[in-house]
């Protein structure tokens, strides 16, 4: 379970997170939705351990992430799969080497076994015959899927997605969303995605948390969020411009 307890964070003099409280149950697919610059990615970085809160705590399976040493964080992160806004594939490595990298680093598997796992993960994300290509030879959508395959390599129990639909057309966005739903059904990981893309969020989420001005203003199922009376949630969902 992920517990975010009263987290405050100031960056560059601006208070980005102002007392965030959120719980994500095991196996749940939570989407944190909100406008640009509302602190969604900053919150995700607290869960990864890239940032520490000024006050408050982030607990992953009962372990306080801000209190972890660098070595402890590395141990915890072996159970994470993270898909970044950009594909973040190592450009100097082939797709096969990219996906195999976590296994080469953290397992004693033979080259054959690693190759087998890599092909399996690539098939999970519907990528075929691209093992020897470099990331730059693939389209944006394929790179995103390869990045997803790499995140799945070590059988993570927690998947984190940072704006996974950014830069993709509506069809590719729907494809990625369906992939996440399918993989979630197959593996049963806990997942937190941050996104401002509504169709994507409503498609994948078990629950949605709406982030506005550094606070969670609403949490609920997609239907509950659609019917929310909160003015920000209403305006965000219906794409109503902010009144000056």
Partner 1 sequence: MDLFEKTGSKILDSLEGVGGTIVTLFRGLYWFKQTIKYRALIFEQMLFCGVESIPVVIVIALFTGMVVALQTGQALARFELEGTIGNVVAASICREMGPVFTAIIVAGRVGSAMAAQLGTMKVSEEIDALEVMSIDPTRYLVMPRVWALLIMLPVLTIFADLIGIIGGGVIARLQIGVSYYTYFDGVMSNLEIKDIYTGMVKAVVFGFSISAVACYQGLHARAGAQGVGRATTRSLVFAFLSILIFDYFISAIFY
Choice from 34, 53, 56, 102 touching partner 1 (CB under 8 A): 102
Among 85, 107, 166, 213, indicate the residue that binds partner 1 (CB under 8 A).
85
Please pick, from the candidates 24, 29, 43, 48, the single residue that binds partner 1 as defined by CB under 8 A.
Answer: 48
Report the DSSP beta bridge partners of residue 160: 82, 192
Yes or no: say if 129 and 94 are a contact pair by the CB < 8 Å rule: no
Query: Rounded to the nearest whole angstrom, what is the least distance from the CB of residue 105 to partner 1 in the complex?
Result: 5
Taking CB under 8 A as the rule, does residue 174 contact partner 1?
Answer: no
Q: Report CA Rg, the chain.
A: 18
Question: Helix, strand, coil % (nearest 5) of the chain?
Answer: 40, 25, 35
Q: What SS3 state is found at 121?
A: helix
Which alpha helices (H) appear in the chain, and where do they start and end?
40-48, 70-77, 95-106, 111-124, 140-151, 170-187, 198-204, 222-226, 231-238
The position carrying tokens 């719980």 is 23
Binding of partner 1 at residue 107 (CB under 8 A)? no
Q: Which two tokens stand for residue 77?
A: 């992160």
| Nearest residue to 162 via CA among 22, 4, 37, 45 | 45
Residue among 99 and 208 whose Cβ is closer to partner 1? 99
Which residue among 78, 113, 126, 186 contacts partner 1 (CB under 8 A)? 78
> Binding of partner 1 at residue 175 (CB under 8 A)?
no
What is the footprint of partner 1 within residues 125-154 (CB under 8 A)? 150, 154
Q: Is 240 in the site for partner 1 (CB under 8 A)?
A: no
Segment lying near partner 1 (by CB under 8 A), choices 73-81, 174-182, 196-204, 218-226: 73-81
Residues within the interface to partner 1 (CB under 8 A):
48, 50, 74-75, 77-78, 80, 82, 84-86, 88-91, 101-102, 105-106, 150, 154
């Amino acid at each position: 379970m992920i517990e975010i307890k009263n987290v405050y964070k100031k960056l560059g003099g601006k208070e980005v997170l102002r007392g965030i409280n959120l719980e994500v149950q095991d196996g749940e697919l939570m989407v944190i939705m909100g406008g640009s610059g509302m602190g969604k990615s900053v919150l995700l970085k607290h869960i990864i351990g890239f940032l520490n809160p000024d006050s408050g705590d982030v607990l992953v399976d009962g372990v306080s992430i801000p209190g972890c040493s660098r070595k402890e964080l590395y141990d915890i992160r072996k159970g994470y799969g993270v898909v970044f806004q950009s594909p973040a594939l190592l450009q100097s490595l082939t797709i096969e080497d990219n996906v195999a990298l976590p296994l080469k680093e953290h397992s004693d598997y033979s080259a054959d076994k690693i190759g087998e796992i890599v092909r399996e993960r690539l098939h999970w994300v519907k990528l075929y015959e691209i093992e020897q290509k470099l990331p730059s030879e693939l389209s944006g959508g394929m790179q995103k899927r390869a990045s997803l395959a790499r995140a799945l390599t070590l059988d993570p129990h927690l998947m984190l997605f940072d704006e996974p639909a950014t830069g993709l057309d509506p069809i590719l966005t729907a494809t990625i969303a369906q992939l996440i739903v399918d993989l979630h059904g197959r593996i049963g990981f806990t997942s937190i995605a941050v996104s401002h893309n509504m169709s994507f969020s409503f498609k994948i989420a078990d629950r949605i948390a709406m982030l506005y001005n550094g606070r969670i203003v609403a949490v609920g199922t997609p239907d509950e969020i659609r019917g929310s009376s909160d003015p920000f949630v209403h305006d965000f969902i219906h794409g109503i411009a902010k009144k000056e």
